Amino acid sequence: MGAELKSPPGNGPYCFRIHGQIYHRIAPLYSNERFKPGYGHLYIFDASEANSRRLENNPSCLSSVMEKLDALLRTINPYAESYLQMYQLI
């Protein structure tokens, strides 16, 4: 596969490099009985669905704050667009 495997220093996600590009493993983009989408996976949903799922895990948070944070992250976070592109390609 052409990957250079190295243990990361300290704690953090397991990463690997393929042809100079850094990659890391993520959970499946599609949910199933054992896997509930969270974190970055929520960017494949529309904003209202994603916020509903976030509030299920964080019931003490304000919905209005979650909506503002979601809008901000979808605008400035390059990974938000990457998750959506991966989902559309699969």
How much is the pTM? 0.60
pLDDT score, position 87: 76
pLDDT tens-place string over residues 34-89? 767 777 778 888 899 989 988 988 999 999 999 999 999 889 988 888 877 877 77
Distance CA 13, CA 79 (A): 16
3-state helix, strand, coil in the chain (%, to 5): 50, 10, 40
pLDDT at 17 over 80: no
Given a contact cutoff of 8 angstroms between Cβ atoms, the answer to whether 42 and 23 are in contact is no
Distance CA 55, CA 53 (A): 5
**Terminal Cα distance for the chain, rounded:** 21
